Amino acid sequence: MRRHARDPEERPMAAQKALSLNIQDVQTLLSAYMPMLERGGIFVPTRERYELGQEIYLLLTLPGESERVPVTGQVVWVSPEGVTGRRMPGVGIHFSAADQGVRDRIENLLVGHLDKGAQTYTL
């Protein structure tokens, strides 16, 4: 069998990773949410290595909810192990177009907090 360079559309099953994130309170959600992204996004603390553009499947639990919301997206931010300052190791995930409703749910929880310039885990 001849092997060719891998087509970017042909990703192995292991390329899509699953993560779980349980956010307990609004302050943590505010620090993790990435409103500057077109469809919204979330920072997920992890020590695993991810690449920019990698597809991620996330089970997200928002404050005050017990339901785990399935979200897909792409890695757009990487904070590697050993990062300094307030930063922690992890990845920022840009929500897929199909998950626009997750952004709306998060922003409803953060009404009155988003314009205050709070520090985040990313920018």
Confidence of residue 5 (pLDDT cuts 50, 70, 90): very low
Question: And the tokens for 74?
Answer: 């792409």
Q: Which of 90, 85, 67 is nearest to 17 (CA)?
A: 90
Residue with tokens 């749910």: 105
* Residue 102 φ then ψ, to 5°: -65, -40
Work out the average pLDDT over 28-46: 93
Output the pLDDT for position 80.
82
Confidence of residue 8 (pLDDT cuts 50, 70, 90): very low
Question: How many distinct helices (H) and strands (E) make up the chain?
Answer: 2, 5
Q: Which residue has the higher pLDDT, 14 or 52?
A: 52
Q: What is the pLDDT of residues 55-102, one digit of tens each?
A: 999 999 999 999 999 999 999 999 887 766 667 899 999 999 999 899
Question: And the tokens for 53?
Answer: 């553009």
Return d(Cα 45, Cα 83) in angstroms, integer: 12
Q: Which residue has the higher pLDDT, 112 or 84?
A: 112
